[in-house]
Amino acid sequence: MSLNLEQYVSEFSAQNITGEHLLQLDGSKLKALGMTSSQDRAIIKKKLKEMKASLEKARKAQEKMEKQREKLRKKEQEQLQRKWKKTDKSPSDATEGTPEQ
């Protein structure tokens, strides 16, 4: 409707075309849905291309965030392990290297 193509809404609804299905449509599938105007198909295909690019960009950003979180989590875990190693040393460990009297 935002593309001024509301004449196709009823057919898309009748065919249960959801957002996920919409992203998979190509020119021939649009034509089969009754979109006979090549200009209308071009408008839809252009918008779908933009939407796919936007989704891909968001997916990559999400993956980058997840990698950063994982890296931070590993770093924090390593810091905790180093901290525990320092506190695990008993006082007898500190005197092991000294000669006996």
Per-residue model confidence (pLDDT) at position 67: 95
Per-residue model confidence (pLDDT) at position 37: 93
Quote the mean pLDDT of the chain.
Answer: 86
% of the chain residues with pLDDT over 70: 87
User: What is the three-state SS of the chain?
Assistant: CCCCCHHHHHHHHHCCCCHHHHCCCCHHHHHHCCCCCHHHHHHHHHHHHHHHHHHHHHHHHHHHHHHHHHHHHHHHHHHHHHHHHHHHCCHHHHHCCCCCC
Q: Which residue from 51, 1, 43, 45 is spatially nearest to 12, judged by alpha carbons?
A: 1
Task: Specify the pTM.
Answer: 0.61
Residues 12, 64: Cα–Cα separation, whole Å? 35
Q: Which residue from 64, 26, 19 is spatially nearest to 45, judged by alpha carbons?
A: 26
Task: Specify the residue for token string 């392990």.
Answer: 81
Domains and CATH numbers, the chain: 6-85 (1.10.150)
Per-residue model confidence (pLDDT) at position 83: 87
Give the residue ranges of the chain where pLDDT is below 70: 90-101
